[in-house]
């Protein structure tokens, strides 16, 4: 194992904590209005970003864990590529241009979808 990517770990934990706070608030709301709808959208986005950070942690140790068209062997995807992969996975669009190649990214992709 390589050293831990502390920045990705920090942001992943931060985004998952924010997602937990938003979820807790949304489930105790009695009436639905514009604020709750915007909070639900924010929660959806924060969860996708949290998973992107989690993928970054996996890619720190296993650079070839996600296959993509412009991949350089042994070099992890850029942040924009990881965010793209996370949102495509969460939206269950599945364009087919990126795919999980490692057990951890496969498990995370299933959990996220």
Task: Determine the average pLDDT of the residues in 15-36.
Answer: 85
pTM confidence score: 0.80
Which band of pLDDT confidence, cut at 50, 70 and 90, is reported for residue 111?
Answer: very high
- Please say if the pLDDT value at position 103 is more than 60: yes
Task: Determine the average pLDDT of the residues in 17-43.
Answer: 86
Q: Which residues contact 97 (CB under 8 A, 6 or more apart)?
A: 68, 69
**pLDDT averaged over every residue in the chain:** 88
Query: What pLDDT is attached to residue 30?
Result: 74
Q: For residue 63, count CB atoms less than 10 angstroms from its CB and return exposed for 0-12, middle for 13-18, buried for 19 or more.
A: middle
Query: What pLDDT is attached to residue 3?
Result: 67
Query: What pLDDT is attached to residue 23?
Result: 87
Query: What pLDDT is attached to residue 36?
Result: 84
């Amino acid at each position: 194992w390589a050293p831990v990517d502390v920045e990705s770990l920090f942001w992943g934990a931060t985004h998952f904590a924010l997602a937990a706070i938003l979820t807790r608030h949304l489930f105790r709301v009695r009436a639905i209005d514009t604020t709750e709808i915007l909070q639900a959208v924010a929660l959806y986005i924060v969860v996708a970003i949290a998973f992107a950070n989690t993928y970054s942690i996996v890619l720190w140790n296993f650079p070839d864990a996600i296959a993509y068209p412009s991949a350089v062997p042994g070099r992890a995807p850029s942040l924009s590529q990881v965010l793209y992969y996370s949102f495509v996975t969460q939206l269950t669009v599945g364009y087919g241009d990126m795919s999980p190649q490692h057990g951890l990214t496969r498990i995370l992709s299933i959990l996220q979808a």
